[in-house]
Amino acid sequence: MPTDTLPNPEKSPERSSGELIRLEQVTKRFGDNTVLDHLDFSVDAGKHVTLIGPSGSGKTTILRLLMTLLKPDEGTITVDGQKLFPATEKERREVRKQIGMVFQQFNLFPNMSVLRNITEAPVTVLGLSKDEAVERAKGLLDMVGLADKCDARPSQLSGGQQQRVAIARALAMRPKVLLLDEVTSALDPELVAGVLDLLRDIARSTDITMLCVTHEMNFARDISDQVLMFDSGRVIESGAPEKIFSEPEHDRTREFLSAVL
Ligand SMILES: Nc1ncnc2c1ncn2[C@@H]1O[C@H](COP(=O)(O)OP(=O)(O)O)[C@@H](O)[C@H]1O
Ligand SMILES: [Mg+2]
For the cut 50, the answer to whether the pLDDT of residue 177 exceeds it is yes
pTM here? Answer: 0.93
For the CA of 58, the closest atom of ligand 1 is: 17
Amino acid sitting at position 17: S
For the CA of 182, the closest atom of ligand 1 is: 21
Residues whose CB is less than 8 angstroms from the CB of residue 18 and which lie 6 or more positions away in sequence, other chains included: 44, 45
Q: Is the peptide bond before 86 cis (omega within 30 degrees of 0)?
A: yes
The tens digit of pLDDT for each residue in 20-77 reads 999 999 999 999 999 999 999 999 999 999 999 999 999 999 999 999 999 999 999 9
pLDDT of 12: 46
Q: Which of 35, 234, 235 to mutate to test the pocket of ligand 1 (most atoms within 8 A of CB)?
A: 35
The tens digit of pLDDT for each residue in 119-157 reads 999 999 999 999 999 999 999 999 999 999 999 999 999
Q: How far is the CA of 201 from the centre of ligand 1 (A)?
A: 31
35 lines ligand 1 (CB under 6 A): yes
Q: List helix spans (H) across the chain.
A: 59-66, 89-96, 114-124, 130-143, 159-171, 189-205, 217-223, 241-246, 251-260
